A and B are shown apart, each in its own frame.
Chain A
Amino acid sequence: MSATTVTAEPLVPPEVVSAIFYGAAVSDTLVLLVAELVGGTPRITWGNEGATQLLGYGLDDLRSLPVTSLVPTLRGGEVRLLLRRERSVRMTLPVRTASGALVEAVVRCTPMPSGRTWTLRLVPADSESERALRATADAHEQRFATLTERSPVPTLLSEQGMRLAHVNDAFCSLVGLQAEQLLGTGWMATVHPDDLDDVIEQVVVVLGGGDGETKARLLRTDGIERTAVFRFSQLFTPGVGAGFVGTIEDITDRLAFEARLEHQANHDPLTGLPNRTLLAEHVAARFRPGSSGLACLFLDLDNFKVVNDSLGHAAGDELLVEVAARLRATVRPGDLVARFGGDEFVVVCQDVDEDDAVTLAQRIGAALAEPVRLGGVDVRSHASVGVTVQTAEHGAAEELIRDCHIAMYQAKAGGKGRITVLDQRARAEARDKLRLVAELREAIERREITLLYQPIFDTADGAPVAVESLARWHHPVRGAISPAVFVALAEESGLIGALGLLVLDETCRQLAEWDRVLGPAAPPRANVNVSALQLDEHLHGHVVAALERHGLPPSRLSIEITESALMKDPASAREVLMQLRGLGVSLAIDDFGTGYSSLAYLRHLPVDVLKVDRSFVAELADGHTEIASAVIALARSLELTTVAEGVETEEQAAQLAELGAGFLQGFNLAQPMTGHRTAAWYAAHAR
């Protein structure tokens, strides 16, 4: 906008001046006018072809036209703003044409040195193409505005910082305010004060050119709080600055749904109490190794099965709900009550010592002992409670829960309705047992459980007719572990299935090997012990598979099942035995006489052999032949054979033969041997 003073140019030849003037005069693209002061009034004194075309005046009409008529918006003395004496001026003005229409034009006015004459050059401000472009841009903006306005997605539009220039109806509805209340920075009041900083942070990122997203709460005018995700994108206008477009997704309902799902995942649907998952998280979140004050109480209802069996499952559920309610009402605020499973509950409390925990357990016991009316019957619940308070020895949160579980079992073992605090010895024993279980699992997996085989002899001719497989575990540190210990451990810890399969498979493998080595001299049959827990619908399949795997006929195998195992569920045991019998496997009842067999059941069981327990054989030495004699007689009357176990002396062997025992087995006759030694023994015996 520098000032320009027009000066004469003496060096330009007259013909050049003429040429330029001619070009300017006839140009229809240039619009040129000359104004002069005539009698103190500025008037147009000349115009070129372009001027007459644009303004619609004839040249004569144009001459003497007052300048104020040409630029009517310069009222009063304002025409002096255009006709400056010493400076050229550029103004955008409406210019009036002969028809009275106004044409927006940039007017550039240059004074002559005299200060009384001016050259005016007019350039229409809008060209057709510019107008078309603007119309297109306006249409785009209008479409965008309409789209945004009617969009169901709450949308904000800022042209400067946090100041909104536009907000759509969906956002107004979301917060319950009118657009006028939200424009500028008004909308910021709808963002929860604790979340506003996060929103601003994201806007800062977006105004700097990035993308932003944050979760924030919105406060409606009706006091309801909504949670929303704000997504921001930069809105940059060249030459203006940066704002943002923000879209808001109301996720309140989704969050509520997710919260419900999470609650369902972590809570017991019947009682509404936290489940085991949440219990574990709760204890883990509060457990600090080496500290104290965290206590867990494990409760097991003593009479729940009775209620369920006698009053039905609905009454059982009702009892559980009532117990949950009483537990919640009895514990301190902040304590956690969880349903561990079935009729088991766990209470977790903080900042307590052992006395406090026991006191709480007593309070709980008293609360549960109040009668509950179930199906018209008053039921008094009692619980066995195991208590553990965190000590320096607890290395992890789950140990605390495990210890109170053990304590509960101890309480239960001591009689119902008791409270037991897990002491150091019990904890040490429990841990030792856990280690042993882990080692047993490894031993089974690595086939470190070995088998010994003890021959069984025919009483009539003394010939070895079979062997019994006996599992042995030689622990690398503890030495030999008694089968009585590790079989019971396997049954408790769910390893009995794997152990049983190992014994079955290894026995069959050994039989096949003996066949290869000894031919006809190989042991004709092997007896395999099966636990009560194996006595299910899978056993038949396992036996078939093992026999097939090693190419043996079923007659080579005898399954021994203890009397007590059979009597746990005689009906289903009979099913399984029938299947095995159908297969062609022979069946024996082990340790017969030590349990409480129903002779009626016994009669219906498809067994071939009764094994007389070693305790009755031992009694023979003291002259007590009654039981052994009775068992053998019973077997005979049921057309079963007998195997007498634990034969230690020649005398016992003779006595048992005399009593009519069919077969004998004992240390004195042949010790349990490895497979290899058994092969050698059989080979020698055959010679």
Chain B
Amino acid sequence: MTVTFLPGAPVPTTLAAAPSFDLEAVLASIETMATQKPVAAQIVSIAGSDDTDARGLARVLGSDAALAGRVMKLANSAYFGMRGRVTSLQFAVTVVGFTTVRTMATVALTDLDDESRLPRDFWRMSTCVALGASTLAPRFGERPQDALCLGLLAPLGVALLHHNDEEGYAELSAAEPTAAGRRAAEVRRYGLHAYRLTAVALEHWGFPPSMVTPLGAVDDLGTEDGALLRAALEVAARLTVEDHEPVPVEELTGGQLRDDAVVPVLDRVRAEAEELRLALLD
């Protein structure tokens, strides 16, 4: 039993002001997506099971030609270093890993692969978060591949809010240049911020706590759970957001990471992000 003792932690007794946007529709959309893309939903479901093997996963994946093609493309991309040696879907699943297949299925399930329906630079941001998280993962004792998937899916909530409230979300984003400010505005408008919404969706689809917990803890600087994600988001912001005011990563990571360690990570992410984006999309 994991028990965390927080002496003197404040106990909120009242709810925050009622949000101005009904979240119910967004939550309902998460549940209805599965019926619209059953193969992707099935992959999301079985890829997380310990009973699933590469052969079984490849068999299901094979019935979605577009998704299977993307997995093959990713397996042969420079990111995995296999130089075109991956010629079967089963081997591709083995190379990229089940979590990545599941992540790609989630991308398909949520229409994240349709860039026309996403905020501007959405995938540029996502791939930078993913590569930042993957590159920094060993410093936080995390598996790079899981961190890559977490980074890729983290902005899912942004896309969901954009889908359901395009104008409102665009205004909100424009009014809040900082990440923390935007998240606060999201809480005011929707009752929760975009990463929390991602966490809800991932939990709904059965993703493990290791991927869900950091998303909920992204604003809680006192916990280590969200430290890697915060650092990755900062890396991505430095690379993709104009006029971004850098936030020291020592602050974001509780001192686990120093700013001078970020410089080579920025170089690596900058070099690989576009290639990963092309490998993940068409």
A76 and B16 in contact (CB under 8 A), knowing A101-B3, A241-B95?
yes
Which B residues lie within 8 Å of A185 (CB)? 78-81
Which A residues lie within 8 Å of B100 (CB)? 160, 241
Q: Give the residue name and chain of the B residue nearest to A165 (CB).
A: B144
A239 and B52 in contact (CB under 8 A), knowing A77-B18, A77-B192?
yes
Q: Give the residue name and chain of the A residue nearest to B10 (CB).
A: A72
Q: How far is the CA of A594 from the CA of B187 in the complex (A)?
A: 129
Q: How far is the CA of A316 from the CA of B11 in the complex (A)?
A: 102
Q: How far is the CA of A184 from the CA of B276 in the complex (A)?
A: 13
How distant is A230 from chain B, measured CB to nearest CB, in Å? 14
Q: Which of A100, A179, A203, A241 contacts B9 (CB 8 A)?
A: A100
Q: How far is the CA of A36 from the CA of B241 in the complex (A)?
A: 45
Contacting pair B1 A126 (CB below 8 A): yes
Whether B172 is near chain A, meaning CB under 8 Å from some CB there, is no
Contacting pair B143 A78 (CB below 8 A): no
Whether B104 is near chain A, meaning CB under 8 Å from some CB there, is no
A73 and B95 in contact (CB under 8 A), knowing A124-B1, A159-B144?
no
Whether B259 is near chain A, meaning CB under 8 Å from some CB there, is no
Whether B134 is near chain A, meaning CB under 8 Å from some CB there, is yes
Contacting pair B144 A163 (CB below 8 A): yes
B120-128, B160-168, B201-209: which one contacts chain A? B201-209
Query: What mask results when residues 135 to 169 of chain A are scored 1 for a CB within 8 Å of chain B, else 0?
Result: 00000000000000000000000011111011000
Q: How far is the CA of A280 from the CA of B136 in the complex (A)?
A: 60
Whether A207 is near chain B, meaning CB under 8 Å from some CB there, is yes
Contacting pair A72 B12 (CB below 8 A): yes
Q: How far is the CA of A78 from the CA of B18 in the complex (A)?
A: 11
Which B residues lie within 8 Å of A77 (CB)? 15-16, 18-19, 23, 187, 190-192
Contacting pair A80 B81 (CB below 8 A): no
How distant is B100 from chain A, measured CB to nearest CB, in Å? 8
Q: Give the residue name and chain of the A residue nearest to B144 (CB).
A: A165
Q: Give the residue name and chain of the B residue nearest to A102 (CB).
A: B4
Whether A104 is near chain B, meaning CB under 8 Å from some CB there, is yes
23 sampled A-B residue pairs with Cβ under 8 A? A1-B205, A66-B13, A69-B13, A76-B16, A77-B23, A77-B190, A81-B27, A100-B5, A100-B7, A102-B4, A103-B3, A128-B1, A159-B143, A161-B95, A163-B81, A165-B145, A200-B81, A204-B85, A204-B91, A239-B49, A240-B98, A241-B96, A242-B54
- Seen from chain A, the residues whose Cβ lies within 8 Å of a Cβ on chain B are 1, 3, 41, 66, 68-69, 72-73, 75-81, 84-85, 87, 90-92, 94, 96, 99-104, 124-128, 131, 159-163, 165-166, 179-181, 183-185, 188, 196-197, 200-201, 203-204, 207-208, 238-242
Which 8 A-B residue pairings sit nearest by Cβ, starting from the closest?
A: A77-B191, A162-B81, A241-B97, A161-B80, A76-B16, A185-B81, A161-B95, A242-B94
- Seen from chain B, the residues whose Cβ lies within 8 Å of a Cβ on chain A are 1-9, 11-16, 18-19, 23-24, 27, 31, 48-50, 52, 54, 75, 78-83, 85-86, 91, 93-100, 134-135, 138, 143-145, 187, 190-192, 196, 200, 203-206, 209, 212, 216, 264, 268
